[in-house]
Structure 1
Amino acid sequence: MSLFTTTYDVIVVGGGHAGSEAAAASANMGAHTLLITMNLQNIAQMSCNPAMGGIAKGQIVREIDALGGYSAIVTDKTAIQFKMLNKSKGPAMWSPRAQSDRMQFAECWRTMLEETENVDFYQDSVNGLLFDGDTIIGVKTALGLEIKAKTVIITAGTFLNGLIHIGDKSFGGGRAGEGASKGITEDLVAKGFESGRMKTGTPPRVDGRSLDYSKMTEQPGDEITEKFSYLSTTKTLQKQRSCYLTYTNQKVHDLLREGFDRSPMFNGRIQSTGPRYCPSVEDKVDRFASKDRHQIFVEPEGWTTVEMYVNGFSTSLPEDIQDKAIRAIDGFENVKFLRYGYAIEYDYFPPTQLTHSLETKLIKNLFFAGQINGTTGYEEAAAQGLMAGVNAALKTQGNEAFILKRNEAYIGVLIDDLITKGTEEPYRMFTSRAEYRTLLRQDNADLRLTPLAFELGLASQERLDRVKEKQHKADILIKFLQETSVTKEEINPILEAKDLTLINQSMKLYKIAARPQLNFSDFNSIAKLTTFLNENSIDKEAIEQAVIHLKYSGYIEKEKNNADKLNRLENLKIPSYVDYTQIKSLSTEAVQKLTKIKPVTISQAGRISGVSPSDISVLLVYMGR
């Protein structure tokens, strides 16, 4: 049965972070898009912590913004605290993070989607997929409707056969208070897809009025705040809400251990893999038994709500154990629970079954994005959603896929890792995963990606003009610093104040500015520089670009050269018809891995676990023929 007479260009299944970015991207590229979700009130719901960004994740949000996505704008509009993490390290490590008002975040996302042309909405559960041979042609809903589409993007989050665990209780659900999604996994497995199970968890939410903050350490935001979006339409925070830090202790650990025999993690009821870098509190107590305490961050869920998120206390232990143990934490003695923590198991599909466009290899026009691919985190999901939305729209328009390389974006690293290496545990992005992280900084995502987004039709002329102006101002400032000399009378008082070696003759300003011990603000007393900045309206962003260039140009050039070498191998395409079983001298493991993953280039083949340098040499000889 179908009450929908339209054949959509793109159907997006799921309204989480991946689905929301997918719908926005495809619609902004002109594709008629339908977003189907089980509850329209929960679009872009922050299911876990009320925050965006963090180490490497902040870079991803900046990249999403540079590509015309919405996540950064929504975060800026709903932020209640902002921090730039790792500021004491080099700029490649700087990572923005913001606490958001959870309710405002979802409301703002829905408003922006409703204001986006080409997006239709429908509340229902998708419980089946429609195929024509090896091509997807639409979806079936719980109400029995059949909705046709040229492409389909599945962004089901934790809902595919989701199972929630609290102690010895288990019940179906994709999130607290919401049902699981059934039927999609079964249809995909019937088509030959490999599926698996993963696990994630969430901590209790408590009433902030019942906490004693005098026993905790206040964690305010940055004094000078920044923001995520490069657009001038969003503003930096003028006021902020503080978070608070406290710790578990030995008594807490002992009380938690009392429930280990009833823990679904330890008694075998949960057999799937959870996130290594965000373990439950019982897992931390068990794995790190020598540690006598663990950090607990108390994070507000919004401007006006009393609800607090207990970051660091993710758990699936029985509610009575949760209650006893958390009361032994300083400041939680009289805590009132709003809801208990829980773990959730759900289906995922190993991402080696996808191409770099996030289209599946088995079924044409079908795309996966988000936790269905084995990732964890809003930011990773949103990035995949945007890329799937872009490529689904391009597919309907008969255009080539849009694929970011590892030296172009963290998003490129994320997708290449998933497609090439796969994952057997929830994948989380870190700066260490990016071999070109000096190039992929949070400050230059717009310079890297907005020109590409403009060509796609995702970025506006306003965005492109702003990027050009930023680059121009940085360039003329660098030129000014390289051409302008300063006397020892101008510079030595600055150097003396910093206890640095003085100069005995005039010197180009860029040589002084490149010294790592000096900040650009130290040169405010140099009149010719101040005049230049004012006359040319050089803003903070342009100054930051110029200073990074001066201080790190050697490292940046080295990475660019390495990236150029990589890209030469990226240009060596492997024909799709290659039969690896017929190539002599390849190792057995290489044959198996290459046959399964079907790398597109020699460079990608070299990143596959189990494919050795000697195997690549064999391939190069074969390709040379």
Structure 2
Amino acid sequence: MFNEVYDVIVVGAGHAGSEAAAAAANMGSKTLLVTMNLQNIAQMSCNPAMGGIAKGQIVREIDALGGYSGIVSDTSAIQFKMLNKSKGPAMWSPRVQSDRMRFAEDWRLLLERTPNLDFYQEMVSGLIIEKGKVTGVKTSLGVEIKAKSVVLTNGTFLNGLIHIGDKNFGGGRAGEKAATGITEQLVSLGFDSGRMKTGTPPRVDGRSLDFSKMVEQPGDDNPEKFSYLDITKPLKEQRSCYMTYTSSEVHDLLREGFDRSPMFNGRIKSLGPRYCPSIEDKINRFADKDRHQLFIEPEGWNTCEVYVNGFSTSLPEDVQFKALRSVIGFENVKFFRPGYAIEYDYFPPTQLKHTLETKLVEGLYFAGQINGTTGYEEAASQGLMAGINASLKVNKKDPFTLKRDEAYIGVLIDDLITKGTEEPYRMFTSRAEYRTLLRQDNADLRLTPKGFELGLASEERLKRMEQKHNDAEKFVEFFTKTSVKPEEANPVLEAKGSSPVKQSDKMFKIFSRPKITIDDVRKFKAVEQYIQDNNLDNEVIEQTEIQVKYSGYIAKEKNNADKLSRLEYVKIPENFDYSQIKSMSFEAREKLKKIQPTTVSQASRISGVSPNDISVLLVYMGR
């Protein structure tokens, strides 16, 4: 069946594999996507949502480069929220609630319409490696398929083991078998491997819930979208989520099952995601809390299935059921399926290059949870980068990487490659030292030119980005050159409790004041007239506001980025006393004292030392 040699074979069709296959194929490489079940392409294994804090920025970056995640997030969305709007724009993060079935369907249809992409359903049980270079894969039926490069995106399937109370069984996720053979082969080749765990909550029947007892969580009044392309549109209708709480009674019922919990009886020894703990972990670690939030999320437009966000658990199913029935609004709950934990193999990502190619085997790339990350968005971005670099390599072109001041994707990969991870890695805005530069609103300005050069971003996308950039630049220039008289400015200023002006002043200066917003300056006739005459859309207006109001912060951060790049070789004095830097995190002081790095660059790559810790160190050193 497979006489030809593929340029790229992608193993696994989750979020990482789907983006990898799309990227390689769209760049012109003959690509094969091999997965255990073609009905489960881009399956949302956990919560039915895309985006969120820092993750929304990643989805925008994937879209700006020409990936598919943003488009599918828009076409399958049932609710949109821009999180952190009360904070500065560096913290704004888009998030959609998704229709789980439509999400997977839209992904599959997009992939099937992608030229150069073939599909095959079977388990890959091993790699074909010759003289230190990957040359193909072997399947469980003994089929050998040749390729110039291979991208492994196995998710939680490598020797996956599912736990529900004192029961456990092999599986990659509920209802699907685990993948075997690859870990053992890679370890025999000299790779280090480890075990991680993650978990998921029960899915329940929404018809059995009393939503009137819960707090409604509607979407935004004026929803936006993820993709920068016009082919997707903002939602006109939305489905609400709901919020309720656990209680002391719920916690006591859950504790009754702790002796049968694999997390507490020692059956699970691997580490789970710190920032998405199980409900039993939460009530154990935060024993002083008498309640925890639960977010009740619909799984789609038409299904009654509901996801109980915040109740991830591996407790016995009878304990889960009994405890949930004591939650307000869940008194008559019916289960679709219980929650469970899953253990799986991963490979510490310090064994990779920044291109996500392995150091030990040429042409072999890892992306997604195999690298120790958690989250659809983190996986998808790695898949995109691995697919890009696999395609570039087989075509003998220079590799493509992103720096920490260019993208959250750059932060993610640099963290993994230089620091490694011993627990499932999740992206946060706090991990990025240049988050004022890496906003969700300007991902297209940062990355679309790069995507266009790669052949992923279309000319239409590039022109749209250039139009937005030019319109915003001209609008900023308008504010710098245009003055407003006191009689027009002062009523607006006084209404906001801002001191009045005594003479005509430039609009840029007035707009820069802390309490003044774009809605305020639009009350000036010249501003509204400019917007109407130039037919400016909300995207350009928002971009202009950010450029004006945060110009100082943006300039400062760019300057810091330049400085830090020059500090690559700054030496740290021998036996430096880190204990004296009280404003540095305790974990960082401990790690730095133990490892004693010789340069600031080396210090920044130590796991547990955050960008903020490095900034504190530089200040202390007078740099």
Q: Same fold (TM over 0.5)?
A: yes
Match of 2:266 among 227, 243, 268: 268
Residue of structure 2 equivalent to 1:557 = 555
Tell me which amino acid in the other structure corresponds to 1:350. Answer: P
Question: Alpha-carbon deviation of 1:214?
Answer: 1.0
Following superposition, the deviation at residue 524 of structure 1 comes to 2.9
Specify the alignment match of 1:187 in structure 2.
185
- 1:453-504 CA deviation, whole Å, 9 max, x = no partner? 1111111111111111001000110111111111111111212222322112
Q: TM-score, normalised by structure 2?
A: 0.92
Q: How many residues align?
A: 590
Q: Which amino acid in 2 is paired with 1:474? A: A
Instruction: Indicate whether 1:411 and 2:409 are aligned.
Output: yes
Asked if the contact 1:195–1:347 (Cα under 8 Å) also holds between the matched residues in 2, the reply is: yes
CA RMSD of aligned residues (A): 2.1
- CA distances 1:377-413 after superposition (whole Å, capped 9, x unpaired): 0000000000000000000011111010000000000
The corresponding residue for 1:608 is: 605
Q: Per-residue displacement from partner, 1:23-44 (whole Å, max 9, x unpaired)?
A: 0011111110000000001000
**What is the alpha-carbon distance in structure 2 between the residues aligned to residue 494 and residue 104 of structure 1?**
47
Alignment partner of 1:281 out of 275, 279, 294: 279
Q: Which residue does the alignment assign to 2:106?
A: 108
Q: Deviations over 1:350-389 (max 9, x none)?
A: 0000000000000000000000000000000000000000
1:127 to 102, 107, 125: 125
Aligned pairs for 1:84-95 (under 5 A) are 84-95=82-93
Instruction: In structure 2, list runs of 5 or more residues that go unmatched.
Output: 577-590, 592-596, 615-623
Q: Is the Cα contact below 8 Å between 1:605 and 1:611 reproduced in 2?
A: no
Aligned-partner Cα distance in 2 for 1:525–1:55: 33
- The 2-side partners of 1:602 and 1:476 are apart by 43
Question: For residue 296 of structure 2, what is the aligned residue in structure 1?
Answer: 298
Note if 1:247 corresponds to 2:245: yes
| 1:596 aligned partner | none
C-alpha contact (below 8 Å) 2:421/2:607 kept by paired residues: no
How many angstroms does 1:527 deviate by? 1.8
Q: Any residues of structure 2 matched to 1:37-116 within 5 Å, and which?
A: 37-116=35-114
How far residue 605 of structure 1 moved from its aligned partner, in angstroms, is 3.6
Q: Which residue number in structure 1 is paired with residue 621 of structure 2?
A: none
Residue 184 of structure 1 deviates from its aligned partner by 0.5
SS where residue 468 of structure 1 aligns?
helix
C-alpha displacement at 1:568, in angstroms? 3.6
Aligned-pair CA distance for 1:90: 0.4
Matched residue of 2:21: which SS?
helix
After superposition, residues 403-482 of structure 1 pair within 5 angstroms as 403-482=401-480
Give the one of 509, 512, 529 matched to 2:510: 512
**1:611 offset after TM fit, Å?**
13
How far, CA to CA, are the matches of 2:599 and 2:354 in structure 1?
A: 15
The 1-side partners of 2:187 and 2:554 are apart by 46
Aligned-partner residue type, residue 532 of structure 1: Y
Task: Identify the residue that residue 484 of structure 1 maps to in structure 2.
Answer: 482
Alignment of 1:226-375 (within 5 A): 226-375=224-373
Aligned to 1:199: 197
CA distance in 1, matches of 2:12, 2:93: 28
Partner residue in 1 for 2:386 = 388
SS at match of 1:304: coil
1:30 is aligned with what amino acid? Answer: G
3-state SS of 1:24 partner? helix
Residue type of the alignment partner of 2:556: K
| 1:205-216 equivalence runs, <5 A | 205-216=203-214
Tell me: CA distance 1:608–1:500, structure 2 relative to 1, closer, same or farther (3 Å): closer
Q: Aligned residue for 1:620?
A: none
1:177 partner letter? G
Identity of aligned residues (%): 71
The one-letter amino acid paired with 2:381 is A
Aligned to 1:619: none
1:80-135 per-position Cα deviation (integer Å, ceiling 9, x unaligned) = 00000000000000000000000000000000001111110000000111110211
Residue 63 of structure 1 contacts residue 411 of structure 1 at CA under 8 Å; is this kept in 2?
yes
| Letter paired with 1:131 | I
5 Å-filtered alignment, 1:23-42, equals 23-42=21-40
CA distance in 2 between partners of 1:568 and 1:451 (Å): 25
| 2:135 partner amino acid | I
| Conserved? CA contact 1:566–1:603, under 8 Å | no
Task: Note closer, same or farther for the CA distance 1:555–1:525 as it changes in structure 2 (3 Å cut).
Answer: closer
CA distance in 2, matches of 1:392, 1:218: 46
- Report the counterpart of residue 169 of structure 1 in structure 2: 167
Deviation at 1:606, TM superposition (A): 4.4
Q: CA deviation at 1:566?
A: 2.8
Task: For residue 139 of structure 1, give the secondary structure of its aligned residue in structure 2.
Answer: strand
- How many Å separate the matches in 2 of 1:603 and 1:36? 43
What's the CA shift for 1:586? 11
- Distance (whole Å) between structure 1 residues aligned to residue 128 and residue 530 of structure 2: 63
**Superposed displacement of residue 12, structure 1:** 0.2
> Deviation at 1:608?
2.6
Q: Distance in 2 between matches of 1:218 and 1:427?
A: 31
- 1:523-572 per-position Cα deviation (integer Å, ceiling 9, x unaligned): 333222111111112221111121111111111111101111233456x8
SS of the equivalent of 2:503 reads coil
CA distance in 2, matches of 1:312, 1:409: 29
Aligned to 2:586: none
Give, as a single letter, the amino acid of the residue that structure 1 aligns with 2:475: L
Which residue does the alignment assign to 2:145? 147
Could you give the per-residue CA deviations for residues 133-186 of structure 1, whole angstroms, max 9, x where no partner exists? 211111000111000100000000000000000001100000000000000001
| Alpha-carbon distance in structure 2 between the residues aligned to 1:373 and 1:604 | 23
Q: Secondary structure of 2:90's match?
A: helix
Distance 1:403 1:602, change over 3 A: farther
Contact 1:68 1:453 in 2 (8 A): yes
CA distance in 2, matches of 1:607, 1:31: 36
Counterpart residue number, 1:582: none
Superposition deviation, residue 602 in structure 1: 7.9
State the partner residue of 2:13.
15
- CA distance in structure 2 between the partners assigned to 1:62 and 1:519 by the alignment: 25
What residue identity is the alignment partner of 2:275? Y
Alpha-carbon distance in structure 2 between the residues aligned to 1:349 and 1:290: 36
In 2: Cα distance, 1:123 partner to 1:488 partner: 71
SS in 2 for 1:462: helix
Confirm or deny: 8 A CA contact 2:415 2:605 kept in the other structure: no
The answer to whether the 8 Å contact 2:355/2:385 transfers is yes
Could you say what secondary structure the match of 2:453 adopts? Answer: helix
C-alpha separation between the residues in 1 aligned to 2:531 and 2:310? Answer: 45
Unaligned runs of 5+ in 1: 573-584, 588-592, 594-598, 617-625
Q: Alpha carbons of 1:108 and 1:602: their partners in 2 closer, same or farther (altered >3 Å)?
A: farther
- Partner SS for 2:550: helix
In structure 1, C-alpha distance between the alignment counterparts of 2:557 and 2:510, rounded to whole Å: 24
Question: Residue 199 of structure 2 contacts residue 342 of structure 2 at CA under 8 Å; is this kept in 1?
Answer: yes
8 Å CA contact 2:204–2:336 kept in 1: the answer is yes
